[in-house]
Structure 1
Amino acid sequence: MRRVLLAVAILAFVAMLAWFVALRQALLFLVGLGMGAVLAGARFGFTTGWRNFIERRDPSGILAQLLLLALAAVVCMPMLAAYPGDLMAALGPPSFSLLIGAFVFGAAMQVADGCGSGTLYKAGLGIPLNTVILPVFAIGSFLGSATLDRWLSLGALSPYGLVAHLGAGEALGLTLLGLALLAALVLWRSDRAAPRMSRKLLIGAILLAVLASLNLAIAGQPWGIVYGFGLWAAKLATAAGLFDPTVNHFWSEAVNMKTLHQSVFLDVTSITDIGILAGALWIALGKPRSQSKPLTGKQWLVGVVAGLLLGYSSRLAFGCNIGAMVSGISTGSVHGWIWVAMAFLGSLVGVRIRRHYAF
């Protein structure tokens, strides 16, 4: 019965978006809905995949992520080359901000047990820690955006897009070669007895690659997560009179100022984020409610602090596992590769912290 009510609410919301907002937003919500259902249904966790490899030398999660990246790149890079004026890559500047932000994010996501997409879909599943972390993540993302210019002043290079500089063919070849080398390294370091990839993760990788490609085609920009979080907190802070966007470097930019003052339903990142929550909720209503292990007060405090750092560092790093890694690498941004290296180093630290607090 609950699923029927949710289905009615989803259909009504889609109709409202199509009629009162834009057909594009309705389609993007459906894409987000699919993403949430796949992430939750396959338990396609980027954080868990990295942690399983670090702790148990289980390569299945990382191999599924590399397959997702390869499939998305095969579709997205030719699209970007064919429609350079209509589609944009997920570019970020190589910078001290990126190095620090990605490292901190990698550590924090292990403690908080979720990256940007993981926090969203686990909140949709009703997992208590991630449900509490979601608004804290949003606050952190807003604070990161509000101070981003100070971090960039430490030193930054111009964003570098492989497709724009080398063409789709060479960009795709280099990307697939890099992913193949990473896969070989992961297999070399993995436990030979560990599974290589489950059927569920394989299907999840394929479906997420399709949905990420659809997001690029419909929205004109790659799949993102954290911008929506920061936008929500910025809207609330501005409405409450706690923040003046006109004197802030990031939010006074024309595109951000416009987004800040228009309906949240017009923001392409926000609408897919909402869809992910709804898709995960759909999965949750179809399964028996599982009982999560109660957390101590210290664990709650550490988890919430990690959530705040997740939001702050993701803005400094120009994305999370989705915006920087999946979208960055699959659309040819050099910053995506830097993000992966630094975030994995951070995860090595984060796993130790998580173990110390017995999460």
Structure 2
Amino acid sequence: MLSSLRRPALPAQPVVSTGLGLNRLISATCIVALVVLAAGVWLQPGGQWRLSALALVGAGIGAVLLRTSFGFAGAFRALIQERDASGFRAHAAMLALASLLMLPMLAQGHLFGQAMRGDATPVGIGFAVGALLFGAGMQVGGGCASGTLYSLGGGNARLLGTLLGFVLGSALGAWSMGFWWSLPTLPGVTLQGLIGFGPALVLQLAVLGLIWRLGRGVKAPSRLLVAGGLALALLNALTLLLAGKPWGETSAFALWGSKLFTAAGIDAHSWAYWRRPGFNTQLDRATSLDITSIMDVAILLGATLAAAGSGVFRPRWGGDLRAWAGALLGGVAMGFGARLSNGCNIGAYFSAISVGSLSGWAWAALALAGSWMGIQLRPLFGLDPGGRRSWGRARPEPVSAQAG
């Protein structure tokens, strides 16, 4: 996912040919689908214009991710395999702008009739296990949650396995949350809760500036990659303004999986995860009223539209059976881990740090450790074929040449 910003090279394996006519057809289909989605969620009972606006924001996120190749899993892998911190420098720029926009919004409390909420996640044993699992899973599965959606939108069919694993793992995580919540946990803390809004913002920007500076002397992130991160920061702030909460992705997968379990005769209503106030009605509500579900579908459509509109949509299998097995297992690990740690690279890292939650920094450190473990497993699934399998001493092909 931390690829170069040139137009992606054609994959070595055979792909389905996509001519100009097919790309135009796919573009038109995506536009129609986005219009139907935006209009449908507004006009349905209980719908509102904010949901339609969030669908458009989601499409914008998908387009930015696809066109800039802005990623998270690849940034972690590049740092470990190549000591390449350019991805994290781009993350620092993104987080700095998001903090500069979102912390003042949270300090206001309400904006345009919408309450602003940036909850802090408690950090405990379950959280740590979840972040480690997610870090490992995103290296085996071929991408994190955002990477899964935008890579799938670009035509990589293997990410279907990752998405299916995400849904299954998220449901299993929701089912088991009663146990994980019973384990020792520290209360959630925000930086602004500790030292106040002004000092919190100054300290956060100083830390992110230090991360940017420490990365100097190594490979610099391209301008387009940094621009992608800044665009995502703006879109996350817009999400907070419209939804009252920052961008997240994986809670929708837990909802979809739990609904499927319930339809199959395993009633998820009794799970501790869904008995919480504010969650106990979600299983019975229409999925089309769920903000995260709407945005996830829109991200996929926006990425597909961006790929087809620029002529780079390429349907392909994305690997052999081993790679597909890795995608499925990685997806399960990420889905399960995301529930334990209350999010993924977006909700538990990007959005958490942007709203001042100290859990975001803890998640990043743990996910980096989990990524190291996942990298050691990649050759088992036919990934990093140019490297020699050895614990911590693989000689991989450059990350920029890899998918995800």
Aligned residue in 2 for 1:132: 161
Deviation at residue 209 of structure 1 after TM alignment: 0.5
Deviation at residue 22 of structure 1 after TM alignment: 1.2
Deviation at residue 276 of structure 1 after TM alignment: 0.5
Query: Contact 1:122/1:131 (CA < 8 Å) preserved in 2?
Result: no
Give ranges in structure 1 of 5+ residues lacking alignment.
none
Distance change >3 Å, CA 338–CA 267, structure 1 → 2? same
More helix by share: 1
Matches within 5 A, 1:162-177: 162-177=191-206
In 2, the alpha carbon distance for the partners of 1:284 and 1:136 equals 24
In 1, the alpha carbon distance for the partners of 2:75 and 2:119 equals 23
Structure 1 residues 15-56: Cα deviation after superposition (integer angstroms, max 9, x where no partner): 222222211100111110100110111111111122122222
**Count of residues in correspondence between the two structures:** 353
Aligned residue in 1 for 2:363: 339
In 2, the alpha carbon distance for the partners of 1:259 and 1:164 equals 30
Q: 2:87 aligns with which of 39, 51, 61?
A: 61
Query: Contact 2:191/2:358 (CA < 8 Å) preserved in 1?
Result: yes
Deviation at residue 187 of structure 1 after TM alignment: 3.8
In 1, the alpha carbon distance for the partners of 2:215 and 2:128 equals 22
In 2, the alpha carbon distance for the partners of 1:211 and 1:299 equals 32
Q: 1:282 aligns with which of 294, 305, 308?
A: 305
With structure 1 as the length reference, what TM-score do the two structures score? Answer: 0.93
Deviation at residue 273 of structure 1 after TM alignment: 0.8
Distance change >3 Å, CA 5–CA 100, structure 1 → 2? closer
Aligned residue in 1 for 2:225: 201
In 2, the alpha carbon distance for the partners of 1:201 and 1:172 equals 24
Deviation at residue 292 of structure 1 after TM alignment: 5.1
In 2, the alpha carbon distance for the partners of 1:25 and 1:207 equals 20
Aligned residue in 1 for 2:49: 23
SS at 1:126 equivalent: coil
Deviation at residue 184 of structure 1 after TM alignment: 3.8
SS at 2:288 equivalent: helix
Structure 1 residues 279-331: Cα deviation after superposition (integer angstroms, max 9, x where no partner): 11102222244475753333322331111111001111111100011110000
Q: 2:145 aligns with which of 109, 112, 116?
A: 116
Q: 1:302 aligns with which of 326, 331, 334?
A: 326
Query: Contact 1:47/1:115 (CA < 8 Å) preserved in 2?
Result: yes
Aligned residue in 2 for 1:52: 78
Q: 2:100 aligns with which of 38, 49, 74?
A: 74
Distance change >3 Å, CA 294–CA 31, structure 1 → 2? closer
SS at 1:253 equivalent: coil
The letter of the residue matching 1:54 is I
Query: Contact 1:90/1:222 (CA < 8 Å) preserved in 2?
Result: no
RMSD: 1.8
In 1, the alpha carbon distance for the partners of 2:318 and 2:301 equals 25
Aligned residue in 2 for 1:254: 277
Aligned residue in 2 for 1:37: 63
Query: Contact 1:90/1:324 (CA < 8 Å) preserved in 2?
Result: no
In 2, the alpha carbon distance for the partners of 1:239 and 1:88 equals 32
In 1, the alpha carbon distance for the partners of 2:315 and 2:82 equals 25
- Segment of structure 1 superposing worse, 70-79 or 279-288: 279-288
- Segment of structure 1 superposing worse, 32-41 or 169-178: 169-178
With structure 2 as the length reference, what TM-score do the two structures score? Answer: 0.83
1:147 aligns with 2:173: no
Query: Contact 1:90/1:323 (CA < 8 Å) preserved in 2?
Result: no
Aligned residue in 2 for 1:227: 251
1:265 aligns with 2:291: no
Query: Contact 2:342/2:348 (CA < 8 Å) preserved in 1?
Result: yes
